[in-house]
Structure 1
Amino acid sequence: MKKLKSIRFWFIQTFVMMAFISTLIIFVGLQIYLVVSDSAILDIRMTLWLSLFALVVFLLVGGYFGIKGSYLIKGRLTDIHLFVSTLRSGNTTDKIPIYEKDEIGLVSEELNLLADYIQEQKQSMQRLADKKTSLAQSAHAAAVMEERQRLARDLHDVVSQQLFALGMMSSATLRLFELDREKAKEQLEEINRIAANAQGEMRALLLHLRPIQLSNERLSDGIIKLLQELKGKTNLHFQASIDDIENISKATEEHLFRIIQEALSNILRHAEAKKIKITLTEKENTIYLFIADDGKGFNPSVERIASYGLKTMRERCEEVGGVFNIRSKEKEGTYIDIRVPLTRESMKND
């Protein structure tokens, strides 16, 4: 990777080049003076010393102003760089200090206006999410019926077929046991695998049997209750740190709860994990949600395209103005990091 040069280097280089050029101009001027003047009081040796003295003076003065100017410009550009990094991470509340009404000052002012615009867009998205949640509540009965139908299809398409396969294989194994014990052992291992898959599917479907809404519970209470239910029904070990977040809109609560529900469902179905870590906290008007498991992981660039669950989680996060990041590697688990802004306007709406 090519090493970046500091702007201070370019400033000092420019002033040094100016010092040499200025010295060369003085030296050439003195030589012309010696050639033209009949009564010159200088000789070639003195012109060389004068040129050398001028070079030293120019270098000192140029170096001083080069370093001073580079510190000023680099400091202002560093402020812009840090602000852009902060803006990219989702924080739109900070502003760049504007020292001068010059070109850099105009860029800083435009970036501040851009941050305000992004903040307004996030607030608009949260207002739309609130309206959408309100409409969803009015259609609650229809959503419950649709969810029941979906669960019935999943039970028929996945679990019932696996149970049917278990019955067929167990009957065949009983007949084969006296004839070929080795073959019977292989079929018993296959039966065990199918039973484990069916159990994982059932656990995942249990998550979707909860109401679509939080039923007027706080987000922290709903998450804790969900984890307690899973802890009693599975062998998973949960490490949870759930803070009670005040002044959070209903839409944000609903979307975060459904994201956690979908993430746990994916872990139960596919991850083969033993430990799950969940952290929910709020800092500087930003909600931080972290979900991790020690399962088998996957290649996000290959499987994400076909993963409806991941797509749904990302869409829910972006719908409330959040940032969704996922990291996973085969045999090294999966890590989901979510940041959602908690704006003052959403506080008032509650």
Structure 2
Amino acid sequence: MLKRLNSIRYTYIRSHLYGVFLTAVTLLAILLSIFVLIEPTWLNASNILVFVLLYVFLSVIISFYVGFKSSTDIKDRMDYLSVFITQLSRGNYTSRDYFNEDDEIARIGNELNELAEKLQNQVKSLQRMADEKADFAKTAHKAATIEERQRLARDLHDAVSQQLFALAMMSQATLRIFDKSPDQAKEQMEEMSNTALKAQVEMRALLLHLRPVHLSGEPLDKGIYQLIDELKQKCQIEFRLMIDELLDLSEATEEHLFRIIQEALSNILRHANATVVTLELTKKKNEVFLHISDNGIGFALETDQAKKTSYGLKTMKERTEEIGGIFAVRSKQGEGTYINIRIPL
């Protein structure tokens, strides 16, 4: 109620009432001065009281009426500006406000229009730079692929290959002494087991390193479905998907969104202890919306869990801003985590 009384409309009414009060006091002072100094027969205390009360009564009614009427236009225009600013804060940079009047509010509207146009151009520049960055990344990827193959060949030779060779040599030696010295053979078999486990761990690390972390030319929706299918084979999580096809996104935007989804799912698998994950990727008007949520343990910003996930959240936020989007995350201890991303097209 108090907040409503501080609105523009009631401010106008208060200013009119203040004028009524000052006018009434002035009239009362003038009439009392005439009554005291001149003492006309037609003026007495009763007439003064009736006149002042009647004036105040009519003036209050007129003040309310005029206050409402005179504040309606400026209130509507301020409401338009408020909605316009809200649209800008949500990433809808195509909105514009136009006023026929030539006053201060119209100038503010024009300045906000210029700001929206600059923000829209900035988003286009960011997306264009992201596309150029993707082209450079492709070139660098080719060179990195050759270097990576050479590195993996060295790792296979230096680690896994030598461990397998040692395993073969120990197995042959164990077969020769198995009947003569069972205790020594048992020790060698334990050593063989440890060597085999080391080789297995090394191989898993290499395979994990080889796992693709990009779309490799596939559409975004297909890449997401493949990623989810792979995760279903490794964990007992129920995935609820709602993905629009034919989103008509640039290659760089698709790549960033895919990596954001990978990072979010990675955080969920490592930290959330969730059983249900919801992923929605939809297009509405001139924006793409990405929503990822889970029913896990959640986290508060001041906890150690937040510190563990902060790097992943920071990476997702940076990727979102690179393509001109807006990133928002909401989480509470015991109530899961919700990530919402809006990308203007």
Judge same fold: TM > 0.5, yes or no. yes
Structure 2, gaps ≥5 residues long: 160-200
Cα pair 1:15 1:62 within 8 Å, conserved:
yes
Q: TM-score, normalised by structure 1?
A: 0.74
What pairs with 1:22-101 in structure 2 (closer than 5 Å)? Answer: 22-37=23-38, 41-101=42-102
Structure 1 counterpart SS, 2:291: strand
Aligned equivalents of 2:104 and 2:98: distance in 1?
A: 14
Counterparts in 2 of 1:298 and 1:50: CA distance versus 1, 3 Å:
closer
**1:321 and 2:338 equivalent?**
no
Match of 1:293 in 2: 294
Aligned equivalents of 1:146 and 1:92: distance in 2?
A: 43
Tell me the CA shift for residue 36 of structure 1.
4.2
Structure 2 counterpart SS, 1:240: strand
**1:331 and 2:316 equivalent?**
no
Q: How many residues align?
A: 293
Structure 2 counterpart SS, 1:315: helix
Instruction: For residues 66-117 of structure 1, give each alpha carbon's deviation from its aligned partner in whole angstroms, at most 9, with x where no partner exists.
Output: 1112322222222222222222122222223424221122222212221111
Q: TM-score, normalised by structure 2?
A: 0.75
Match of 1:226 in 2: 227
Structure 1 counterpart SS, 2:32: helix
Match of 2:115 in 1: 114
* Amino acid of the structure 2 residue aligned with 1:12: I
What pairs with 1:266-305 in structure 2 (closer than 5 Å)? Answer: 266-302=267-303, 303-305=305-307
Instruction: For residues 162-209 of structure 1, give each alpha carbon's deviation from its aligned partner in whole angstroms, at most 9, with x where no partner exists.
Output: xxxxxxxxxxxxxxxxxxxxxxxxxxxxxxxxxxxxx9xx79x85971
* Amino acid of the structure 2 residue aligned with 1:311: K
What pairs with 1:181-330 in structure 2 (closer than 5 Å)? Answer: 209-212=211-214, 214-302=215-303, 303-305=305-307, 307-330=310-333
Counterparts in 2 of 1:60 and 1:271: CA distance versus 1, 3 Å:
closer
- Which protein is bigger by CA-based radius of gyration? 2
Match of 1:17 in 2: 18
* Amino acid of the structure 1 residue aligned with 2:127: Q
Instruction: For residues 299-330 of structure 1, give each alpha carbon's deviation from its aligned partner in whole angstroms, at most 9, with x where no partner exists.
Output: 33445455332221111111001111112223
Cα pair 2:280 2:292 within 8 Å, conserved:
yes
Aligned equivalents of 1:317 and 1:146: distance in 2?
A: 30
Structure 1, gaps ≥5 residues long: 157-198, 343-350
* Amino acid of the structure 2 residue aligned with 1:209: R
Cα pair 1:293 1:333 within 8 Å, conserved:
yes
